[in-house]
Copies of this chain bind each other. A is one copy, B any other.
Amino acid sequence: MAEYTTNAAGREVLTEINGEAAVPYKGVGKHRPEGNKAPRPIRTNADYPDSGDKRLPDLKTALKEAGLRDGMTISTHHHFRNGDLVANQIFDAAAELGVKDLRWFPSASFPCHAPLIEHLDSGVIHHIEGSMNGPLGDYASQGKMRGLGVLRSHGGRYQAIQDGEVHIDIAVIAAPTSDPFGNCNGVNGPSVCGGLGFALADSEYAEKVIVVTDNLVPFPCVPWQIQGNNVDYVVEMDKIGEPAKIVSGTTNITKSPDRLLIAELTAEFVRAAGILKEGFSFQAGAGGTALAFAIFLKEMMKESSIRARFVRGGSTRYLVEMLEEGLTDYILDGQTFDLDGVRSMRDNPRHIHTNPFVSYNYHNKGNIASMIDAVVLGATEVDVNFNANVVTHSDGRLLHGIGGWQNCLFSKCTILPIPSFRDRIPVIVDEVTTLCGPGELIDVIVTERGIAINPLRQDLIDATKGSGLPIKTIHELKAEVDRICGGPPAKPRFEDTPIAAIKWVDGTVIDVVKQLATP
C-alpha cells in the first residue's frame, strides 16, 4: 500500500518510489543535499585498446558486452525528439536476448516510441523514468505501467544521476558523428540533431557507455560534445535518426490572433518592466507563442538599438537570425529545434553548446538558469497562487514532460504567456491538477485578457504601473475567464493508484499523478 505524506506545497506525495525512499518537497532552496556525488569506478587504460578502436559489430553485441541483464537501467537521450531511431532498437534487442524488467531512463520519450508499449506489456521494460510525451504518458495514465513513472526536469535528471538517485547501467548515445574512440557530436553527418548535452551525465556516470553512430570518422571527431574517454563501445548502424523530425510541431510561429496578442503583450511587458536593456538576456522556448514573443522582442531591440548579451535556446532559426544580425553576443544552446540551429551551432563560434550541468543542475555551484533576465514558458494550468502545471492536461492525462521548465523558473523574471482558456476550459484554476512549479518562482501570467503579476514581485508591479498594459489581479482574470467558460473546469476523476511522481529540481517529490478513473 502506497504511503503518503504532505509536502511543503501541501501536496500528498509518496514516501517511497519504486521501492526506494523519497524525500518530500520542502520549499525552494530548503532541501540541503548531503554526502557525495555518485561513486564512479576507477578505470584503467589497460582494459581498453591502445589503438583507441572500440568498435563492436552491432548493438546487440554491444549490449551483451556491456553485461545487459534483468532489472538494469538503460538510458538514452532525446536530441532526435520524434525522429529517434535507436531507443526502439535497444529494447527489440533486449527482447531478443530474453532480458526482462528493464528500467528505461530516457531524457524524454516521444510518440515515435509508442512501439515500446509492446515491450512494457511483455515485461521487457518494467517502467519508464523520464518525460512521456503523448502515447506513453497516456499508457501510464491508464495505470498500465508496472512501476511508477518519475518525471524530472532536465536539470533534475542531471542532479538525479550526479547524486546517485538513479544509477545507469548502460547508456546508449545516438551520435550523428563519432570516431572509433567514442568522441562524438550532433552537428555533423547525415543525421544531425545539434547538441548531445542531454547525454552528458549518462556518459559521465553510467557503468557502461555505448555510442551508436551512422557517421564514423577517423579520430579525432571534433567537436567532442561527448568525450570518448567516457565511452566503452562504438557501434555503427545504418541510420540513427531523422533530422527533419527534430523540428517538433511546436516550432512554428503561432497564427492565432489571441496567441499573437499574448506574445506581443509579453514583449511589451518585458519592455515596460525595464528588462529590455543593453546587455540583457532572455530565454524563450520553441512553442508558437514563445517564438512570436521573440520576434516582437527582436523588433523592439532593433528600434531601440539594444543588444542582448546572450539568449538561451532551444535554438531555432529565429534565434540564429538574431545572432547573425548582431542582436546578441551569444546563443547558449541546450537543444537545437531546427536545422538552422544545427548549422549555426556547427559553424558559429558564438553559438555555444551547453548541457544540463552548466545550465540547469541545481546541485551545483550555481548555474546559468538563475542569471537569465527573463524567461518565457508555457503551462497547461496556473492557479491563483501562481503555481503551475506543465505535465497533465485538465482532463488529468499525463501527456507532457517537464523539460527545462522547472529549471528556468529560477530566472530573474519568469513569465507564462498562456491563453486564458483552451477548448472552453479555463487555464487559470483554483488549484492545479499537478503541481510542477511553485508560485513563488512564477512572476507574471500573460493572457489575451490581461496580465497578472505575482504580488511577491512588488518591484515589477511598481515598474509597470502607468504603462498602459492591461494589468489585473490573478483573481480578476480568473473571474473573467470563469464567466466566459461558464464556471471553473470540472476536476478530473482519478483512482487512488499513483502512476507517476513529479520531482522538484533538488530531487524531492513535489507532486504525484494518479491513474485516471475508468470512464
Contacts and interface: CB of A to CB of B under 8 A. Distances in A.
A363 B506 contact: no
25 contacts: A29-B45, A32-B44, A33-B44, A36-B39, A36-B40, A36-B41, A42-B162, A44-B362, A44-B506, A45-B362, A45-B364, A45-B366, A45-B370, A48-B366, A50-B370, A50-B371, A51-B371, A52-B368, A52-B370, A52-B371, A219-B371, A220-B330, A229-B358, A230-B365, A232-B365
A231 interface: yes
Task: Enumerate the 3 nearest inter-chain pairs by beta-carbon distance, A residue then B residue, closest first.
Answer: A36-B39, A29-B46, A48-B366
Interface in A4-49: 29-37, 39-49
A279 interface: yes
A486 interface: no
A209 B366 CA distance: 13
Interface in A167-219: 181-182, 209, 218-219
Nearest to A505: B45
Interface stretch (A58-66, A90-98, A239-247, A349-357): A349-357
A211 B117 CA distance: 50
Q: How large is the interface on A (under 10, 10 to 19, 20 to 34, 35 or more residues)?
A: 35 or more
Interface string A476-503: 0000000000000000000000000000
Given A44-B364, A229-B365, 17 more contacts: A29-B44, A29-B46, A33-B42, A37-B39, A42-B163, A42-B363, A43-B363, A45-B363, A45-B370, A218-B279, A220-B330, A220-B332, A220-B352, A220-B368, A222-B349, A224-B358, A231-B365
A54 interface: yes
A361 interface: yes
A310 interface: yes
Contacts of A162: 42
B44 A310 contact: no
Contact of A34 (B42, B49, B218): B42
Main secondary structure of the interface of A (DSSP, over half): loop
A385 interface: no
Contacts of A378: none
A373 to B, nearest CB: 11
Contacts of A330: 220, 222
A309 interface: yes
A228 interface: yes
B49 A366 contact: yes
A309 B220 CA distance: 8
A44 B34 CA distance: 10
B366 A228 contact: yes
Nearest to A46: B29
Interface centre among A35, A220, A368 (most CB of B within 10 A): A220
Contacts of A227: 357-358
Interface in A449-492: none
Contacts of A232: 365
Nearest to A159: B42
Given A50-B410, A349-B349, A366 B35 contact: no
Nearest to A346: B349
Contacts of A362: 44-45
Nearest to A28: B46
A171 to B, nearest CB: 13
A367 interface: yes
A153 to B, nearest CB: 13
Contacts of A220: 309-310, 330, 332, 352, 368
